[in-house]
Amino acid sequence: MSTGRDDLHTDEIVLSTCIGCGLPLTTGSKFCGHCGQGQNIEDPGQSERKWQSVRQVFIFFIICSIICCVFSFVDYFQTLTWSIVADGLFASLSVTFFVLNWHRCRSLLLWPNFSWKRLLVYCSIAIACSFLVGFMVDWLNKSLFSKTFSYYYFYSRYRYGKEMAIFFIAVMPALFEELGFRGFLVTKLLDITEEKQAILISGFLFAIMHRSMLSLFWLIPFGIWLGYIRVKQNTIWYGLCIHFCFNFTACVVEILQSAHYR
Amino acid sequence: MEELTINPIQQTFGCPACATQASAGETFCTTCGYPFEGTEQEQRYFLSARDLKTIDLEAAEKQIKRASNALFFIGGLTFVFGFVFYAMAAPSEKIAILITNVILAAIYTAFGFWCKSKPLAAIISGFSLYVLLIIINAVLSPLTIVSGIVFKIIIIGFFIRGVKAAIEADKLNKELNVNRAG
């Protein structure tokens, strides 16, 4: 939050000035020694605005949870049509909340300080992590539960199954989870609390939203990493590319494994 | 009213409100905002307003403590019921149920401890997990919504008041110039 404080730039020293009287402040001052004005005081309506942001975060989270849980756990909805409906609902939810906070979120659609090198490094890390996580999750599933799990299996029985799997596993989540979680959610959390806490909360909510206890060990760090990049770079595009590369790699590995075992 | 004693060599004196060393040229304390050159009435008003904020902060911290205890309580219950469900479950599901409940208990307990340094983040995260689990159970078995409804309402009440209190405490900490550990 901007304090509205001006800074006096001398040759080497930067002196802060009081937000009330404009006179220079001594280093580390929390109150002005001349007029008594607090320098770190919140606006009178700040707490109410924070509480409104908390409510918006919870409404988003609860609707998101209901959509995900209903379409994942109710047998009746385990069809391709309902799966598309679920993805459509989640996409609409993310877009709605993003647009409702358009004035705060729109800058995230820009890509300031774009760097091919940075993008390449991020995507390479995402691909490497995807291989590593895929291997570990497969090993854990086999060791603990004596079974394997494949997202592609659901789409494999349909015509254009591979294309649908890539679209619904790699493209849709990357686009709309980033819009919802790194776009809307992180922005709202930054209104409520400081950067570090906002990143941690968004990472945790992103992880539990996937409803897999075993996957928390990689989803939490992954969510925190995406949140950190969103805050550091002030755009959702790096996160979107990372998320796409991660999911795309996992999807391709599953498709190749499926072809191999067939 | 306590009199200000100026150190003649260093030209400094202790603030009557927060005891920070202030220099003689300052009209207000740069740490707490105490009006050194204000009238006696202004100084009394400042001190009573500061006391009121301190009382509000203590009340907010009490609410945060309750939310923290709620997290510990749910963590403990999840741990105990994890073993109960483990004993009752079919052999093929035993290990999954035990691992799930132990991880959940560990997460709630970790949030309970985290409440001491970062209450807002800890309560929001713990509350979200609790709500998600209620939704999952309700989808899998709708009747679970009503089972233990009073207990759920009380816990959710603690969390909501905890979040509000954490926001308020954050504001008061800034106003009183108190830095929370961590």
pLDDT band at A13 (very low <50, low <70, confident <90, very high): very low
| Per-residue pLDDT, A30 | 80
Calpha distance A89→A86 (Å, rounded): 5
Contact A71, A85 (CB under 8 A): yes
Angstroms from A205 CA to nearest CA on chain B: 7
- Of A214, A220, A134, A211, the closest CA to residue B103 belongs to A214
Distances in Å between the alpha carbon of B60 and those of A94, A193, A262, B153, B169?
33, 17, 62, 20, 6
CA distance A148 to A141: 6
The interface predicted TM-score (ipTM) is: 0.86
How many angstroms separate the CA atoms of B84 and A153, rounded?
34
What distance in Å separates the CA atoms of residue B60 and residue B68, rounded to the nearest whole number? 12
Contact yes or no for A185/A57 (Cβ under 8 A): yes
Give residue-wise pLDDT tens across range A32-77.
888 888 777 777 788 889 999 999 999 999 999 999 999 999 999 9
Say if residue A101's pLDDT is above 50.
yes
pLDDT for A96: 97
Stretch (H or E) spanning B14: strand B12-14
The mean per-residue pLDDT over the stretch A185-202 comes to 95
Read off φ and ψ for residue A78, nearest 5 degrees.
Answer: -85, 50
Residues A60 and B133: their CA atoms lie apart, in Å, by 16
Residue B31 in contact with partner chain A when CB distance is under 8 A: yes
Q: How far apart are CA B73 and CA B152, in angstroms?
A: 12
Does B177 sit within 8 Å of A30, measured CB to CB?
yes
B132–chain A Cβ distance below 8 A for any pair: yes
Tell me which chain A residues have a C-beta less than 8 angstroms from the C-beta of B104: 213
Q: Is B28 left (phi over 0), alpha (psi -120 to 50) or beta?
A: beta
Q: Of chain B residues 79-98, which have a CB less than 8 A from chain A?
A: 95-96
Query: Would the CB atoms of B131 and A62 count as touching at under 8 Å?
Result: yes
Q: What is the identity of the amino acid at A85?
A: V
Find out whether A253 and A134 touch, Cβ atoms under 8 Å.
yes
Output phi, psi for A9, to 5 deg.
Answer: -95, 110
Residue B62 tokens read as 């009490």
A65 contacts chain B (CB < 8 A)? yes
Q: Give the gap in angstroms from C-alpha B33 to the nearest C-alpha of chain A.
A: 5
Percent over 70 (pLDDT), chain A: 93
- Which chain B residue lies closest to A75 (C-alpha atoms)? B140
- Give the residue extent of every domain in chain B: 59-176
Contact A31 B171 (CB under 8 A): no
Distance from CA of B49 to the nearest CA of A (A): 14
Helices (H), chain B: 40-88, 91-114, 119-140, 149-176
- The residue ranges of every structural domain in chain A are 1-41, 47-261
